[in-house]
Structure 1
Amino acid sequence: MKKCHSILSTPFWVSLLILGLFSCTTGGQVTEASATLIELEEITIADIQEAYAAGTYSIQTLTQAYVDRIAAIDDAGPMLNSVIIVNPDALAIAAKLDAELAAGKSRGPMHGIPVILKDNIDTHDKMPTTAGSRALANSFPLQDSYLVKQLREAGAIILGKANLSEWANFRGEMSSSGWSGVGGQTKNPYVLTRNPCGSSAGSGASVSANLAVVAVGTETNGSIVCPSHANGVVGIKPTVGLISRSGVIPISFTQDTPGPMARTVRDAAIGLAAMIGIDPADSKTLDSENKTYDDYTQFLNADGLKGKRIGIYTGPAGANFKVDSVFAEAVAFIKSQGAETIEIEDIAPRQVGGLSFEIMLFEYKDGLNKYFASLGPDAPVKTVEDLIAFNKQDDVELQYFNQKYLEMAQEKEDLTSVAYQETLAEMLRLSQEEGLDKVMEEHNLHAIVASTGSPAWTTDWVNGDHFQLGSSSPAARAGYPNITVPMGFVGELPVGMSIFGQAWTEPLLLEIAYAFEQGTKHRKAPKFLEKD
């Protein structure tokens, strides 16, 4: 798999990309871009739509700019390594969308917007879906995932696939976030020796580096919010069932969800609306009926903190005094905007973590085997057992860490077992009824906020990831929504604040997130530093 490379030798990734001086071969066609200056850094969906309406540049021109920015930054320059493959049909899709605009048809705010997908999300095109695994390096799904169908119908351009922690970071012990057998190691765009965090590492790094407008990640526990926080962007981990998981390589039917990642709350909200929908192939989405909105930007309110009762989750406190200091400033701002705050020490009983891990193992085996079956008779591997065997004979897959979680999953019974059913019921009771729901109802809270994580650690293939703190678990295990927004910096490294609450409260969380974002403006474009 090769990305499309620019013939530029000048590193235009610093600020502006000059078009018209080069061409790029995609899908057997050579497309010349017009001599236009496009400020790609920090461009928003609204900026792009205004430019389209004014005729400042075309969808093809913008798409070409992003293709060549990926070549300049991801493949060369800093060698961020966040994108596994660029869609060879991207410019052809852009041409069709340009023709629609010329005919007076716009599909809405996502029309002509380049999107990068985490490479565990199926597309039925010339790009394989690999989960970062060499076992699926040439695996071409038989149809688009439901969320990709939704994005295409909304007019989005699937620009490419992002690197990820292989098998969404649930393969083995002492792993390095952002490493996969197919894609290698993704870097953090703020400091290149630092880690991008979480399994949606490439999604977070690419959108932060302005390689696309919106990226899509997936989360089981922390894999949207952690890379969003570590890469200085906004990430929305929605209520499980708001976005379909069909055609998404699974870990946990109970906890998995895709979600948008973007540089602003508004753009993330637009991306969220483009992906939702009831999908008969994913029974969880049936619960979203009458709980969704066509437009989530209607809830963005700069005064959205006024009158809110906000829980301050102190669980992560004490692990990193520098993060504690930044979080204290965030809490002070929240209070200054007219919110009432209540400290919360605990959210769910401790044993819920072990129960969640067991559920993940049960559902991982069941979900992967079903996914492999969806690939048809030519599937490269057909069972978890086959995958384990492939990894053992491959000369790359096990060079840095093992596959213990795959092996543990393989030993589990099926989902009709009493052990699974009882464990699931207890996990949901403790995480929901005796967890987030109980805490929020007892204190009459609108939302809870917490530090999302620690500053990005130095990437380490020997010892693996060095997590110091995190706050993703309460919402992840309950299947409830969580939004992280930039909270500030520790030195050159961004840190985020998570805002989470009860099921289907995305509108309320977006209101709070937007108010915090607009009042603080912490997002800064990365500098691709070689060291701190």
Structure 2
Amino acid sequence: MTDPGPPAPYPPGLQDRPVAELARSLRSSALTSTDLVTACLDRITSVDPVVRAVLAVDDTAPAQARAADLRHARGAALGPLDGIPVLLKDNIDTAGLASTAGSRLLAGTPPARDAEVVTRLRAAGAVVLGKTNLTEWGNFRSTRSIEGWSAVGGQTRNPYAPAHSPWGSSAGSAAAVAAGMAPLALGTETDGSLVCPAGVCGVAAIKPAPGTLPTAGVVPISTVQDTLGPLAPRLADAALCLAVLTGRPLPAAPAPPGTVRMGLWHVKGMAPDAQELAERLADRLRAAGATVVPVEITLPRDMLVDGLDALCAEFRPSLERYLRGRPGAPATLDEVIAANRRDPVELTLFGQELLERCAELTDGDRALAPALRRRSRRRARALIDTALAAYGVDVLMAATSGPAWRIDDGPDPFTRTSSTLPALAGRPVVAVPAGFRGELPIGVSLFGPPALEELLPAALLAERHGEGPRTPAVPPRVPSPRSRR
């Protein structure tokens, strides 16, 4: 039998257009939100059996779309997100819908109230399309976890190569956007959980500084370091979404190349092909007129230890504060650990060593968290600011991570990323697609200045000079016998 070759990319649909273009079409009645939501639901039906990015669809989405259509027909649109479908990571509370953080322990009674960020989305007229899968508990359960896997949603897969990982923890949000299931999605990040899946799934993400968006109603790791952010096929779409949610305008145009000075950081231990691709992007930026110089930054081990110790100390009070508002859920971290041990699915693939480590901390240990946090944040910011000043650059750029690894039955390999330094510093990060290694996307992250407004024009310029988008060719079946449910 002749090998039919790889599957053809799916044809672009309504939902694959830029969000600003969709908004104009909705305002002019050239397009209805009902048609747009239908296109998204059809794409979910078509490709999600393979990608497994969507954990739950909101049955009220068609009614939300009809309400948006009535507003547009009356000339009473609520703004550029009115009628635009958005998927939400399933650690973000939605009243009456899912909101499990991937854990079967939260799958019983949905929350009674929306997270504050969802309230803002609804006030802007966005259509809550559904919830996306994630690495369970935001990837803060085990040191040997599997990215993109949860006991509720199973294994999310990379839409460009479904035998490969989508990374995490915002795996479902990144994979769904990459596969055209929605024009926008929200995810969360503590360290890398937005930018890393964006990088390996070939989409853009904005990780704002902590506090930019409210985290009330979001299953936490650390209320100090957690943040929410948008993912989209294009950076301008993500910036538009964030501008609506924050109520402040954000730059939407690339900086003139001649005004940009970037420092290219090759992270020690990063996959060589990711470093090479970042260097190729730097060469294209130089050819366009930007200044890109190599920079060296070394992350002190004790700074990283301080950051992890602070996270562990912050986790229990952050989680238990959230759990008090979830009737039917375990009330304490100890109850979560005990319930996981009784559950027939939760611990089948990996353990819960991080949860257990956090549970063993004493009140005295947790009292050290503010000092550890201040020290690690001060040192991380000093590393960034010193590099910016010493090399005379405005922003830093680095490969986000190496390409996605092949999904296997064991724990994921250790992979270097560039996300930890800005995460510890509490600085914003913007991730954009840079190119491909074979069929696998690789992204770059830009960070440095404390204000997102200073960062976005350079990131938009970097995106413009990437290798360009491709459409994932999602096959009709997963080319691997390993299913992970």
Structures share fold, TM-score greater than 0.5: yes
Partner of 1:70: 44
Q: For residues 260 and 102 of structure 2, what CA distance do their matches in structure 1 show?
A: 42
Select which of 420, 423, 427 maps to 2:369. 420
Amino acid corresponding to residue 324 of structure 2 in structure 1:
A
Match among 285, 301, 311 for residue 350 of structure 1: 301
2:330 matches 1:381? yes
CA distance in 1, matches of 2:458, 2:363: 41
Please identify, of 245-254 and 331-340, the stretch whose mean Cα deviation from structure 2 is larger.
331-340
> Relative to structure 1, is the Cα distance of residues 72 and 398 closer, same or farther in structure 2, using a 3 angstrom cutoff?
same
**Whole-Å separation in 1 of the counterparts to 2:364 and 2:99:** 26
* Cα separation, 2, equivalents of 1:467 and 1:481: 24
Task: Tell me, yes or no, if structure 1 residue 306 matches structure 2 residue 277.
Answer: no
Counterpart residue identity of residue 138, structure 2? A
CA distance in 2, matches of 1:518, 1:424: 36
Distance 1:321 1:439, change over 3 A: closer
5 Å-filtered alignment, 1:15-26, equals 15=11
Of 40, 46, 52, 2:20 maps to: 46
Who is 1:445 aligned against? 393
1:87 aligns with 2:58: yes
- Please point out which of 89, 100, 107 is paired with 1:118: 89
Matches of 2:365 and 2:120 in 1, distance apart? 32
Partner of 1:140: 110
Residues 41 and 525 in structure 1, CA contact (< 8 A), matched pair in contact too: no
Task: With a CA cutoff of 8 Å and minimum separation of 6, indicate the structure with the bigger relative contact order.
Answer: 2
Q: Which residue of 1 aligns with 2:177?
A: 207
For residues 479 and 277 of structure 2, the distance between their equivalents in structure 1, rounded to whole angstroms, comes to 22
- Superposed displacement of residue 506, structure 1: 1.0
- The secondary structure found in structure 2 opposite 1:327 is helix
Give deviations 1:214-260, integer Å, cap 9, x for gaps.
01110111000000001000011111111111111100122110100
Pair 1:480-2:427 in alignment = yes
Which residue in 1 is equivalent to 2:69? 98
Moved more, 342-351 or 405-414: 342-351
TM-score, length-scaled by structure 2: 0.93
Percent identity among equivalent residues?
Answer: 36
- Whether 1:56 and 2:3 are equivalent positions in the alignment is no
Q: What is the match of residue 25 of structure 1?
A: none
Paired with 1:226 and 1:89, the residues of 2 have a C-alpha distance of 31
TM-score, normalised to structure 1's length? 0.85
2:248 is aligned, of 290, 294, 298, to 294
Distance 2:263 2:207 in 1: 19
Are residue 107 (structure 1) and residue 56 (structure 2) matched?
A: no
Contact preservation (8 Å) 2:168, 2:196:
yes
Moved more, 468-477 or 413-422: 413-422
2:458 to 512, 518, 521: 512
CA contact (8 A) 2:97 2:111 kept: no
Match of 2:320 in 1: 369
How far 1:130 moved relative to its partner? Answer: 0.2
Contact 2:135–2:171 (CA<8 Å) still a contact in 1?
Answer: yes
Rounded Cα–Cα distance in structure 2 between residues aligned with 1:337 and 1:303: 12
In 2 relative to 1, CA 256–347 (structure 1 residues): closer, same or farther, beyond 3 Å? farther
In structure 1, how many angstroms separate the alpha carbons of the residues matched to 2:370 and 2:20? 47
Shift of 1:415: 8.2
**After alignment, is 40-49 or 107-116 more displaced?**
40-49
For the structure 1 residues 97 and 311, does the alpha-carbon distance in structure 2 shift closer, same or farther, using more than 3 Å as the test?
A: same
Report deviation, 1:304.
3.6
Preserved contact between residue 118 and residue 203 of structure 1 (Cα < 8 Å): yes
Q: Could you tell me whether the CA contact under 8 Å between 1:74 and 1:83 is conserved in 2?
A: yes
Q: Deviations over 1:393-421 (max 9, x none)?
A: 00000000000001111122348954223
Matched, 1:266 2:236: yes
Secondary structure, aligned partner of 1:132: coil
Q: Which runs of 5+ in 1 are unaligned?
A: 1-10, 17-38, 277-292
Name the aligned partner's letter for residue 17 of structure 2: I
SS of equivalent to 1:215:
strand
Q: Is the 8 A contact 2:198 2:204 kept in 1?
A: yes
Deviates more, 1:361-370 or 1:58-67: 58-67
CA deviations 1:240-290 (Å, max 9, x no partner) are 1111111111001221101000000110101111222xxxxxxxxxxxxxx
Is the Cα–Cα contact under 8 Å of residues 366 and 415 in structure 1 kept in the other structure? no
Could you say which residue in structure 2 is the equivalent of 1:336? 287
| Two-structure CA RMSD over aligned residues (Å) | 2.0
Q: One-letter code of the match for 1:101?
A: H
Contact 1:454 1:467 in 2 (8 A): no
Shift of 1:531: 5.5
Following superposition, the deviation at residue 134 of structure 1 comes to: 0.2
Q: Does the aligned pair in 2 maintain the 1:305–1:516 contact within 8 Å?
A: no
Amino acid in structure 2 at the alignment position of 1:203: S
